[in-house]
Amino acid sequence: MEGIKETNFTFPGQTGFYRGKVRDVYKFDSRLVMIVTDRISAFDIILPRPIPHKGQVLNQIAAYNLEATSDIVPNWVESVPDPNVSIGKICDPYPIEMVIRGYLAGHAWREYKIGKRSLCGVALPDGLNENDKLPNPIITPTTKALEGHDLDISAEEIIRQGLILAKEYEMLEDYTRKLFERGTRLANKNGLILVDTKYEFGKLDDIIFLIDEIHTPDSSRYFYKVGYDERQSNGEEQKQLSKEFVRQWLISQGFQGLQGQEIPLMTDDIVYSISDRYLELYESFLGKPLIIDELGDALKRIEENVNKTLKKA
Protein backbone atom coordinates (compact mmCIF):
# COMPACT_ATOMS: atom_id res chain seq x y z
CA MET A 1 0.00 0.00 0.00
CA GLU A 2 1.41 3.38 -1.02
CA GLY A 3 -0.59 5.57 1.35
CA ILE A 4 -2.94 8.52 0.81
CA LYS A 5 -0.97 11.40 -0.67
CA GLU A 6 -3.92 13.74 -1.25
CA THR A 7 -7.68 13.91 -1.61
CA ASN A 8 -9.74 15.81 -4.14
CA PHE A 9 -13.36 15.47 -3.08
CA THR A 10 -16.30 17.77 -3.76
CA PHE A 11 -18.86 17.43 -0.97
CA PRO A 12 -22.45 18.80 -0.99
CA GLY A 13 -22.52 22.23 0.66
CA GLN A 14 -18.74 22.63 0.55
CA THR A 15 -17.66 26.28 0.61
CA GLY A 16 -13.87 26.03 0.57
CA PHE A 17 -10.79 23.82 0.59
CA TYR A 18 -7.32 24.10 2.06
CA ARG A 19 -4.39 21.69 1.70
CA GLY A 20 -1.94 21.83 4.60
CA LYS A 21 1.28 19.96 5.15
CA VAL A 22 -0.54 16.84 6.29
CA ARG A 23 -4.27 17.59 6.26
CA ASP A 24 -6.79 18.27 3.53
CA VAL A 25 -9.42 20.58 5.02
CA TYR A 26 -12.89 20.97 3.51
CA LYS A 27 -14.84 24.01 4.71
CA PHE A 28 -18.58 24.35 5.16
CA ASP A 29 -20.62 27.23 6.61
CA SER A 30 -19.84 26.46 10.24
CA ARG A 31 -17.91 23.21 10.14
CA LEU A 32 -14.66 21.70 8.95
CA VAL A 33 -14.07 18.24 7.54
CA MET A 34 -10.42 17.50 8.26
CA ILE A 35 -8.95 14.55 6.37
CA VAL A 36 -5.61 13.41 7.72
CA THR A 37 -3.58 12.08 4.80
CA ASP A 38 -0.41 9.97 4.93
CA ARG A 39 1.83 12.89 3.91
CA ILE A 40 4.78 13.59 6.19
CA SER A 41 6.70 16.82 6.66
CA ALA A 42 10.00 17.65 8.31
CA PHE A 43 11.77 21.01 8.57
CA ASP A 44 8.46 22.42 7.24
CA ILE A 45 8.97 20.58 3.94
CA ILE A 46 6.52 17.94 2.68
CA LEU A 47 8.53 14.82 1.87
CA PRO A 48 7.90 13.18 -1.51
CA ARG A 49 6.44 9.86 -0.34
CA PRO A 50 3.44 9.26 1.93
CA ILE A 51 3.75 6.93 4.94
CA PRO A 52 1.17 4.11 4.86
CA HIS A 53 -1.37 4.21 7.74
CA LYS A 54 0.14 7.39 9.24
CA GLY A 55 -3.07 9.40 8.77
CA GLN A 56 -5.21 6.85 10.60
CA VAL A 57 -2.73 6.72 13.47
CA LEU A 58 -2.59 10.51 13.83
CA ASN A 59 -6.33 11.03 13.61
CA GLN A 60 -7.25 8.31 16.09
CA ILE A 61 -4.58 9.19 18.65
CA ALA A 62 -5.66 12.84 18.40
CA ALA A 63 -9.32 11.88 18.90
CA TYR A 64 -8.39 9.81 21.95
CA ASN A 65 -6.39 12.62 23.52
CA LEU A 66 -8.94 15.34 22.73
CA GLU A 67 -11.62 13.30 24.47
CA ALA A 68 -9.26 12.65 27.41
CA THR A 69 -8.63 16.39 27.91
CA SER A 70 -12.08 17.81 27.17
CA ASP A 71 -12.62 18.59 30.87
CA ILE A 72 -9.64 20.99 30.77
CA VAL A 73 -10.60 22.97 27.69
CA PRO A 74 -13.33 22.44 25.06
CA ASN A 75 -12.11 21.28 21.66
CA TRP A 76 -13.24 21.64 18.09
CA VAL A 77 -14.13 18.00 17.27
CA GLU A 78 -17.79 16.95 16.99
CA SER A 79 -17.41 13.52 15.35
CA VAL A 80 -14.84 11.08 13.95
CA PRO A 81 -16.77 9.26 11.21
CA ASP A 82 -13.74 7.59 9.61
CA PRO A 83 -10.26 6.52 10.76
CA ASN A 84 -8.77 9.37 8.70
CA VAL A 85 -11.45 12.03 9.32
CA SER A 86 -12.51 14.45 12.05
CA ILE A 87 -15.43 16.86 11.69
CA GLY A 88 -15.96 19.86 13.92
CA LYS A 89 -16.36 23.56 14.57
CA ILE A 90 -14.69 26.34 12.61
CA CYS A 91 -12.75 28.50 15.07
CA ASP A 92 -10.73 31.65 14.51
CA PRO A 93 -7.17 30.43 15.21
CA TYR A 94 -4.65 32.33 17.27
CA PRO A 95 -1.55 33.20 15.19
CA ILE A 96 0.86 31.24 17.41
CA GLU A 97 1.52 27.68 18.49
CA MET A 98 2.00 26.98 22.19
CA VAL A 99 5.06 24.74 22.45
CA ILE A 100 5.85 23.25 25.86
CA ARG A 101 8.99 21.32 26.72
CA GLY A 102 9.71 19.06 29.68
CA TYR A 103 13.11 17.87 28.39
CA LEU A 104 16.01 19.42 26.50
CA ALA A 105 15.58 17.80 23.11
CA GLY A 106 15.17 18.54 19.42
CA HIS A 107 15.15 22.22 18.48
CA ALA A 108 15.76 23.32 22.08
CA TRP A 109 18.87 21.15 22.32
CA ARG A 110 20.19 22.34 18.97
CA GLU A 111 19.89 25.95 20.20
CA TYR A 112 21.42 25.09 23.58
CA LYS A 113 24.32 23.20 21.98
CA ILE A 114 25.47 26.32 20.11
CA GLY A 115 25.56 28.31 23.34
CA LYS A 116 22.14 29.85 23.69
CA ARG A 117 20.88 29.96 27.29
CA SER A 118 17.56 31.62 26.58
CA LEU A 119 14.76 30.26 24.42
CA CYS A 120 11.73 32.45 23.68
CA GLY A 121 12.72 34.63 26.62
CA VAL A 122 12.94 31.66 29.00
CA ALA A 123 16.31 31.21 30.76
CA LEU A 124 17.96 27.79 30.68
CA PRO A 125 20.59 26.68 33.25
CA ASP A 126 24.14 25.72 32.34
CA GLY A 127 25.36 22.14 32.54
CA LEU A 128 22.50 20.33 30.82
CA ASN A 129 22.94 17.42 28.43
CA GLU A 130 20.82 16.42 25.49
CA ASN A 131 17.50 14.87 26.59
CA ASP A 132 17.92 15.89 30.24
CA LYS A 133 14.73 16.60 32.12
CA LEU A 134 14.30 20.34 32.65
CA PRO A 135 13.85 21.68 36.20
CA ASN A 136 10.30 22.66 35.19
CA PRO A 137 8.42 22.52 31.86
CA ILE A 138 8.98 25.65 29.79
CA ILE A 139 6.65 27.27 27.24
CA THR A 140 8.40 28.35 24.03
CA PRO A 141 5.80 29.66 21.56
CA THR A 142 6.30 29.90 17.82
CA THR A 143 4.65 31.96 15.13
CA LYS A 144 2.48 30.07 12.65
CA ALA A 145 4.02 30.56 9.23
CA LEU A 146 1.77 30.03 6.21
CA GLU A 147 4.91 29.15 4.29
CA GLY A 148 8.42 28.28 5.42
CA HIS A 149 9.61 27.87 8.99
CA ASP A 150 7.75 28.74 12.17
CA LEU A 151 9.78 31.16 14.30
CA ASP A 152 10.43 31.26 18.03
CA ILE A 153 8.79 34.18 19.83
CA SER A 154 8.63 35.26 23.46
CA ALA A 155 5.47 35.85 25.47
CA GLU A 156 6.47 39.51 25.84
CA GLU A 157 6.82 39.91 22.07
CA ILE A 158 3.47 38.21 21.43
CA ILE A 159 1.75 40.74 23.67
CA ARG A 160 3.82 43.71 22.48
CA GLN A 161 2.96 42.98 18.84
CA GLY A 162 -0.71 42.66 19.76
CA LEU A 163 -0.91 39.10 18.44
CA ILE A 164 -2.88 38.05 21.52
CA LEU A 165 -4.31 40.09 24.39
CA ALA A 166 -2.35 39.67 27.62
CA LYS A 167 -5.32 38.23 29.50
CA GLU A 168 -6.03 35.67 26.79
CA TYR A 169 -2.37 34.72 26.51
CA GLU A 170 -2.34 33.98 30.24
CA MET A 171 -5.31 31.65 29.69
CA LEU A 172 -3.48 29.89 26.84
CA GLU A 173 -0.44 29.37 29.08
CA ASP A 174 -2.65 27.95 31.84
CA TYR A 175 -4.38 25.57 29.41
CA THR A 176 -1.01 24.56 27.95
CA ARG A 177 0.45 23.61 31.33
CA LYS A 178 -2.66 21.66 32.35
CA LEU A 179 -2.81 19.82 29.02
CA PHE A 180 0.88 18.93 29.24
CA GLU A 181 0.40 17.61 32.76
CA ARG A 182 -2.51 15.44 31.61
CA GLY A 183 -0.58 14.29 28.54
CA THR A 184 2.39 13.39 30.73
CA ARG A 185 0.19 11.23 32.95
CA LEU A 186 -1.43 9.50 29.97
CA ALA A 187 1.96 8.82 28.40
CA ASN A 188 3.37 7.49 31.67
CA LYS A 189 0.46 5.05 31.92
CA ASN A 190 1.49 3.70 28.51
CA GLY A 191 5.20 3.39 29.30
CA LEU A 192 6.14 6.61 27.52
CA ILE A 193 7.61 10.00 28.46
CA LEU A 194 6.01 13.06 26.88
CA VAL A 195 9.10 15.11 26.06
CA ASP A 196 7.61 18.12 24.33
CA THR A 197 4.52 19.00 22.35
CA LYS A 198 2.54 21.85 20.82
CA TYR A 199 -1.03 23.03 21.15
CA GLU A 200 -3.08 25.26 18.89
CA PHE A 201 -6.04 27.28 20.08
CA GLY A 202 -8.82 29.27 18.49
CA LYS A 203 -11.94 31.23 19.45
CA LEU A 204 -15.60 30.81 18.64
CA ASP A 205 -18.29 33.03 20.19
CA ASP A 206 -15.68 34.38 22.65
CA ILE A 207 -14.89 30.86 23.90
CA ILE A 208 -11.35 29.45 23.60
CA PHE A 209 -11.20 26.02 21.96
CA LEU A 210 -8.35 23.57 21.53
CA ILE A 211 -7.98 22.98 17.79
CA ASP A 212 -6.03 20.65 15.51
CA GLU A 213 -4.44 17.44 16.80
CA ILE A 214 -2.81 16.90 20.19
CA HIS A 215 -0.30 14.43 21.65
CA THR A 216 0.37 12.70 18.32
CA PRO A 217 3.83 11.75 17.02
CA ASP A 218 3.59 14.66 14.56
CA SER A 219 2.94 17.25 17.27
CA SER A 220 4.84 15.61 20.14
CA ARG A 221 8.04 13.82 21.05
CA TYR A 222 7.97 10.67 23.18
CA PHE A 223 10.73 8.65 24.86
CA TYR A 224 10.34 5.14 26.18
CA LYS A 225 10.19 5.26 29.97
CA VAL A 226 11.92 1.92 30.48
CA GLY A 227 15.68 2.44 30.15
CA TYR A 228 15.50 6.26 30.01
CA ASP A 229 17.64 6.81 33.14
CA GLU A 230 20.22 4.21 32.14
CA ARG A 231 20.58 5.53 28.61
CA GLN A 232 20.86 9.08 29.92
CA SER A 233 23.52 8.11 32.47
CA ASN A 234 25.52 6.36 29.76
CA GLY A 235 25.23 9.26 27.33
CA GLU A 236 23.32 7.09 24.86
CA GLU A 237 20.64 8.20 22.46
CA GLN A 238 17.12 7.87 23.81
CA LYS A 239 14.73 5.44 22.18
CA GLN A 240 11.88 7.57 20.97
CA LEU A 241 8.56 7.53 19.20
CA SER A 242 8.26 10.79 17.28
CA LYS A 243 9.16 12.45 14.01
CA GLU A 244 12.58 13.38 15.40
CA PHE A 245 14.11 10.18 14.01
CA VAL A 246 12.92 11.31 10.56
CA ARG A 247 14.62 14.68 11.07
CA GLN A 248 17.80 12.94 12.25
CA TRP A 249 17.79 10.69 9.18
CA LEU A 250 17.39 13.73 6.93
CA ILE A 251 20.23 15.54 8.76
CA SER A 252 22.47 12.48 8.31
CA GLN A 253 21.74 12.72 4.58
CA GLY A 254 22.71 16.40 4.50
CA PHE A 255 19.20 17.85 4.43
CA GLN A 256 17.75 20.41 6.86
CA GLY A 257 15.21 22.11 4.62
CA LEU A 258 17.62 24.87 3.62
CA GLN A 259 17.56 26.55 0.23
CA GLY A 260 19.42 24.56 -2.39
CA GLN A 261 19.38 21.30 -0.46
CA GLU A 262 17.90 18.27 -2.20
CA ILE A 263 15.53 15.94 -0.36
CA PRO A 264 17.25 12.54 -0.07
CA LEU A 265 15.82 9.46 -1.76
CA MET A 266 13.17 7.78 0.39
CA THR A 267 13.60 4.06 -0.20
CA ASP A 268 10.89 1.50 0.55
CA ASP A 269 12.87 0.45 3.64
CA ILE A 270 12.85 4.01 4.99
CA VAL A 271 9.14 4.51 4.24
CA TYR A 272 8.06 1.26 5.89
CA SER A 273 10.34 1.77 8.90
CA ILE A 274 8.64 5.13 9.49
CA SER A 275 5.22 3.49 9.08
CA ASP A 276 6.19 0.85 11.65
CA ARG A 277 7.05 3.60 14.17
CA TYR A 278 3.61 5.15 13.77
CA LEU A 279 1.88 1.78 14.15
CA GLU A 280 3.94 1.12 17.27
CA LEU A 281 2.88 4.39 18.85
CA TYR A 282 -0.76 3.66 18.05
CA GLU A 283 -0.52 0.33 19.85
CA SER A 284 1.35 1.90 22.77
CA PHE A 285 -1.36 4.52 23.22
CA LEU A 286 -4.55 2.63 22.53
CA GLY A 287 -3.46 -0.78 23.79
CA LYS A 288 -4.36 -2.60 20.58
CA PRO A 289 -2.92 -2.86 17.09
CA LEU A 290 -4.35 -0.79 14.27
CA ILE A 291 -6.80 -2.79 12.14
CA ILE A 292 -5.36 -2.52 8.65
CA ASP A 293 -7.46 -2.99 5.53
CA GLU A 294 -4.98 -3.48 2.70
CA LEU A 295 -7.63 -4.50 0.16
CA GLY A 296 -10.23 -1.75 0.50
CA ASP A 297 -10.37 1.55 -1.38
CA ALA A 298 -9.45 4.07 1.34
CA LEU A 299 -10.52 7.14 -0.66
CA LYS A 300 -13.92 5.64 -1.45
CA ARG A 301 -14.40 4.70 2.22
CA ILE A 302 -13.54 8.21 3.37
CA GLU A 303 -15.88 9.85 0.86
CA GLU A 304 -18.78 7.57 1.81
CA ASN A 305 -18.32 8.07 5.55
CA VAL A 306 -18.09 11.86 5.24
CA ASN A 307 -21.19 12.01 3.03
CA LYS A 308 -23.17 9.89 5.50
CA THR A 309 -22.26 12.22 8.34
CA LEU A 310 -23.03 15.37 6.35
CA LYS A 311 -26.50 14.02 5.45
CA LYS A 312 -27.29 13.51 9.14
CA ALA A 313 -26.35 17.11 10.03
40: Cβ contacts below 8 Å, ≥ 6 apart: 22, 46, 47, 50, 51, 54, 218, 243, 246, 274
Q: Which residues of the chain have pLDDT under 70?
A: 1, 145-149, 295
SS3 assignment, position 254: coil
CA proximity to 209, closest of 78, 100, 29: 78
Distance from C-alpha of 21 to C-alpha of 25, rounded to nearest angstrom: 11
* pLDDT score recorded for residue 1: 65
pLDDT at site 246: 87
Residue 244: predicted pLDDT: 73
Which of helix, strand or coil describes residue 14?
Answer: coil
Fold classification of 16-92+256-312 is: Phosphorylase Kinase; domain 1 (3.30.200)
Q: What is the pLDDT of residue 295?
A: 65
* In the chain, ranges of CATH 3.30.200.20 domains: 16-92+256-312
Q: What is the pLDDT of residue 55?
A: 95
The SS3 assignment for 58 reads helix
Q: Where in the chain is the domain with CATH 3.30.470.20?
A: 93-245
What are the φ and ψ backbone dihedral angles of 249, each rounded to 5 degrees? -65, -45
pLDDT digit string, tens, across residues 179-196: 999 999 999 998 999 999
Q: Which amino acid is at 303?
A: E
- Residue-wise DSSP of 214-242: -SSTTTEEEEESTTHHHHHHTTPPPPEEE
The pTM (predicted TM-score) of the whole model is 0.88
CATH superfamily of 93-245: ATP-grasp fold, B domain (3.30.470.20)
